[in-house]
Structure 1
Amino acid sequence: MAVFNITHSNLSTFILMGIPGLETAHVWISIPFSMFYIIGLLGNFTVLFVVYKEQTLHKPMYLLICMLALTDIATPTFVMPNALCIFWFNLKGITVGGCLTQMFFLHTVSVMHSAVLVTMAFDRYVAICNPLRYTIVLTNTRIAKLGLLGLIRAVLFIMPLPLLLSQQPFCANHIIPYTQCEHMAVVKMVCGDITVNRTYGLVLFFVVNMSDLTLVALSYGLIMRAILRLSSKKAHQKALNTCTVHICVMLMYYTPGLFSNLTNRFSQSIAPYIHIILADLYLLIPPMLNPIIYGVKSKDLRDKVGKYICRK
C-alpha cells in the first residue's frame, strides 16, 4: 500500500491505537462492529447481484443504487479489516505510506458517496418536477458519465491531502489514537508547519460537503414545493413515498458525518473515545442500513430480492 513517497520522516511506521481508554473492551467492541460490517457486505452485494441479474431493474435509479452500494462496500472495507486486527490480535503497526494510502482511498470513497447522493437528489427532482422529460434527461449512459465525473472529482480533490502530508516531517511519537488513518489524526503527527494542510482540509470540507449538501437541500426543496402543488391526494402520497427513502439515506449519511467532522475539529470537551466510536459507526451504520432501507421502500427491488431468496 505504500504508494506515497515519504522523504522527511525518520520513522517508517505509525501505531494505530484503536480506541484508547477502552483497550480492555476491544474484543467486545469488535463483535457489533464485525456484525455491522458483515450485514452491510451481504446487503450491498445482494443489491448488486439482483440488479445485475434482473433486466427490468436496469434503470437510472437502480444504477444509482448500485453506485451507492459499491461505495458502501468500499468504505468500511478500507477500515474494518485493519481495525479488527487491532481489536483481536493487537496488530497496531502500519507503514506511513500505507497510512496515507488508506487515508486517500477512505476520503476518496466518501467524496464519491456524496456525489452519488447529489445525483440521486437530481434524479428525484427530474422524476417529480419534470416527469415527461425523465427518460430523455436521465439515461443509463448519462448516469454512468455522472458517476465517472464524481469519481474524477473525488480523486482530484483528495489527492493533495496525502501528497502534502508526504512532504512533511513527522514527529518521533507516531501514535494515532484511532482505528484508521483519518486526515486530521495524521495531521496531528506532523512536526512542521501544518497551516496549508489544515486550511486545505477545511476548504475541502466546505467546498465538497457543504456544496453537495446545499445542492441536495435545494433539490428536495423544489421537490417538496412541487409535491405540495399536486391536486391529487394519491399522486401527492406517491411522490412523498418516492422521496422518503432518499431523504432517510441522505440524513443518515450527512448528519453524523457533519457532527463527527465538526466535533473533531472544534470541540475539545468530548472524550476522545467518543470521537473514535462515532467515526467508526459513521463508516459502518449507513452501509449496513442503506440496502435494508431500499429493500423495504422499493417494491420492485423488494420483490426481486424476495424471488431469489425464496428460490434458494
Structure 2
Amino acid sequence: MTANWDAESMPDLSGATIVVTGANSGLGYEATHEFARKGGHVIMACRSEERGREAAETIREELPSASLSVHECDLADLESVRAFAREFETTYPSLHVLCNNAGVMAIPRSETEQGFETQFGVNHLGHFALTGLLLDRLRETGGETRVVTQSSAVHERGEIDFADLQGEDEYDSWDAYAQSKLANLLFAYELDRRLRATGSDTKSLACHPGYAATDLQRRGPEMRGSRLRLFAMEAMNALIAQDARTGALPLLYAATNLDIEGGEYVGPGGFRNMRGAPEIQRSSELSYDHEDARRLWNVSEELTGVAYQL
C-alpha cells in the first residue's frame, strides 16, 4: 500500500484536459475538485447541466482559479453521449485523461432511452460508447494519455449473463450491479490490451473506491420507497464508510501516478480493501477472462453502434 499517497501527491496538471463523468456529486465531484486544484482543466460531464453548474460554482468558491467547463452527458441516452462527444471534438483540441466514473447502483429494473437495462446501460454501455467516441482525441493528444474506469469491489460477485444481459428474464438489482461492474473491468483490461497491440501511448486502467459514503447508496432504497433499507444504508455509511474525498483517491492515483502501468486495478489498501490509501490490487478471476472480454466487446459495439478503430 502506498501509505503516504494522497491528493497532494499528484503531479502538477497545468495544461492537462480531463473529462470526468458524474462530476457534480460524490466521487466525481471530489476528483474534479482535486484535478482542478492541481491546475487541470476539467470538463464536467453531467446528466444534469444545471446540477453540474451548481457543483462548479461550489468548487470555485474554494478554488477561484479552478478551470472548469460543464457539459450535458446523459449516459442513459446514447444520443446524449454522441452529442457530448461531438461538442468535445469541436471545442477541445486535446484530452489527457478520461474518467469513466458515473454510475447507478442496485436500483429497481428500468431501461435507458435505447432500451438497455439501466445499470448495464449506464455503468458499462454508456462509458463504452463515450470512450470509443473520444479515443481518437486521446490517441492524437500526444504523450501518455489515460482512460480510467471506475468499478466496484461488488464486481467479485458478478457474472456476465450473455443469455440475459438486460435482465429481461430474471432481475436482481445487486446481481445486475455486479454484472455491470464486472463489465467495467473486462472492458478496461481489453481496451488496454488492444491499445498495447497498436503501440499506443494511451493506457487503460480500472479502480474502485472501497466503501465510500456517497449519494449512490441512497438511490436504490429511495426508488423502492424503503425506509428500512435507507436507514440501514445510512447506518453502514456512518459506521464503516470512508468519506467521498478519500474514496476518490484510487481514481486520482490511476489517473495521475507517474509509475503506474496500463491494465492495473487500483483500490484502497486498508481494512478489507474498503478504506485507506490506494494500492495496486488484483480483481476477480472472471475479470481477466480474455474470451469473455472479447465477446463483451463485440456485443457492446453491436448494441451501441460505436466501433473502435483499433
> Taking structure 1 as the reference length, what is the TM-score of the superposition?
0.27
- Bigger fraction of residues in strand: 2
Q: Which has the higher contact order (CA 8 A, sep 6+)?
A: 1
When Rg is computed on C-alpha atoms for both structures, the one with the higher figure is 1
> Taking structure 2 as the reference length, what is the TM-score of the superposition?
0.27
